[in-house]
Amino acid sequence: MVLMTEEKELYLGYASDKAMTPFMQKFLEALDGEKLMMSKCTSCGTEFLPPRQHCQKCLSECELQELTETEAKLHSYVIVDFAPESLSSKAPYVVAIGEFPSGKRLTAHITNLMGMPEVGMSLKLGYEHIDAKKLTYKWLV
């Protein structure tokens, strides 16, 4: 699914008025309430974060489940100096993979970093309403 808008977006996020499916609508409503959903395959049990509607392994339907973990450790990161045009005003910025105690990993921006990121540092899942219709999740240090 590709979401296109007329205006250039300055920030990664989910547009709350662009839900194409009931699955996506439910995901966005949870995000609006500052809850992140993952999904689990109804056939083979594989979990996906961020959620996928269909299983990557067996193509069966997945169901949304609330992610209950909020604290993670920095597993890996990249500092983006040369950003795509839509994000150039934000560069340099940090894209990080956080690992929850369960082993699940999530990729998101770290937006409140005051120094260099360090592998193993504590991260907390945060949310942001970028504007009236745009939502995102992010890592906070």
Binding site for Zn ion (CB under 5 A): 41, 43-44, 46, 55, 57-58, 60
Q: Which DSSP string corresponds to 64-116?
A: EEE----EEEEEEEEEESS--GGGGGG-SEEEEEEE-TTS-EEEEEE-S--S-
Nearer to Zn ion, 44 or 83 (CB): 44
Nearer to Zn ion, 37 or 74 (CB): 37
Nearer to Zn ion, 63 or 99 (CB): 63
CB 62 to Zn ion: min, Å? 7
CB 108 to Zn ion: min, Å? 25
CB 58 to Zn ion: min, Å? 4
Nearer to Zn ion, 9 or 47 (CB): 47
CB 22 to Zn ion: min, Å? 19
Cβ neighbours of 25 (radius 10 Å): 13
User: How far, in Å, CA of 34 to CA of 126, rounded?
Assistant: 8
Tokens of residue 89, six digits: 């005003």
User: How far, in Å, CA of 89 to CA of 97, rounded?
Assistant: 22
Cβ neighbours of 124 (radius 10 Å): 13
